[in-house]
Amino acid sequence: MAVQLAYQDVRQVSDRRTGRPALSAWFETVSKRTSMVFISAGVT
């Protein structure tokens, strides 16, 4: 799920953060993990 949310951020597919504070907070925490930083660096 976190990878999909990161992809949506990069592609600006939707404004999923508005109205979803718990999901946004969870994603902010998960996106700091080493594995997510590594994956996000490769998404272009």
pLDDT for 12 beyond 90: no
pLDDT at res. 26: 94
Total number of domains in the chain: 1
pLDDT for 41 beyond 80: no
pLDDT for 39 beyond 70: no
pLDDT at res. 22: 94
Structural domain boundaries enclosing 13: 2-42
**How large is the average pLDDT for residues 8-29?**
86
pLDDT for 40 beyond 90: no
Decide: pTM greater than 0.85.
Answer: no
H or E element in which residue 21 lies: helix 21-30
